[in-house]
Amino acid sequence: MTDNIESNPAATHLSMNDILETVHFRVRNKHSNNRLSDAVYEHILKELVFPDGQDQLQIGSKITESMIATDLRVSNGPVRDAMARLRREGWIITLHNRGSYVVDFTLPENSREIYKFRLSVEAGAFYTLAETITDEQLNELKSCTMDTERAVGQGDLAAYRKADAEFHLKVLEMAGGRSLRDLAAPKFLQWFAVSRLILKDMFNDDRNILSKPSGSHEDLCQLLANHDGTGAAELITHHCSYVAQLLGIEE
């Protein structure tokens, strides 16, 4: 699955971008300064949100310290720290006498909660960013938009999802700084984990599905460029509700 990250010094310096190959930031762990536990944490996130196609660790599956430690060839300590962090962030649930499981985010009660969180946070972020966005920030978002369009043209679902995640998480950081980004990142990544499942099935049936979401990144960038906060907030609401409709969770 991976090299021994305990014996490979380079592996302990992997950034979130290196692990997830998507967003140019590293989620800060206020509870630990252990880089090895951070690397284990990020590896598990990659398995859940941006898997390499093997899907060794799946939503709803059982997860144990020994399983992860064996796969990564590390001691149980860093794995225990990583799993504790994942538990705090809502990725893992531990049941009495049954063990720990990856939360099934596809259950309506779970996916609906994530959807409501994302919708409220992102609408506010776009509204705020529209007032303060700089040309440099706008160019960064346009670059992400070009990446998503390129992925659509190539029919590359994995590349599309990574560019899509980068776009939305960049908006959070631009609007509210690291504090907003770090607060919202776990729930946003859980949303991308949920949407991966529905988009994967639909993409297999319809390769044009990637070009159909309501409220394109290009349109959002234009509204931000025009400093139209209300319009951007309304459009991102439609953008988010598209996948929610596909999941059957929009109220």
Q: What is the pLDDT of residues 18-44, one digit of tens each?
A: 434 433 334 455 554 478 899 999 999
Higher pLDDT, 242 or 74: 74
Work out the average pLDDT over 237-244. Answer: 81
Pick the range with the lowest mean pLDDT from 54-58, 140-144, 174-178.
54-58
Q: Which amino acid is at 98?
A: R
pLDDT at 56: 64
More confident residue, 244 or 168: 168
What SS3 class is residue 183?
A: helix
Residue-level pLDDT at 105: 87
Cβ-contact 216, 240 below 8 angstroms? no
Q: Distance between CA 208 and CA 153 in Å, rounded?
A: 9
Ramachandran category for residue 213: left, alpha or beta (phi over 0 → left; psi -120 to 50 → alpha): beta
State residue 241's pLDDT score: 82
Q: Both ends of the chain: CA-CA distance in Å?
A: 40
pLDDT for res 152: 79
pTM for the full predicted model: 0.78
**235 confidence band (pLDDT: 50, 70, 90):** very high
Q: Provide the pLDDT confidence category of residue 224 given band limits of 50, 70 and 90.
A: very high
Domains and CATH numbers, the chain: 9-102 (1.10.10.10), 108-247 (1.20.120.530)
Average pLDDT value for the chain: 81
pLDDT band at 211 (very low <50, low <70, confident <90, very high): low
Kindly tell me the burial class for residue 3, based on how many C-beta atoms sit within 10 Å of its own C-beta (0-12, 13-18, 19 or more): exposed
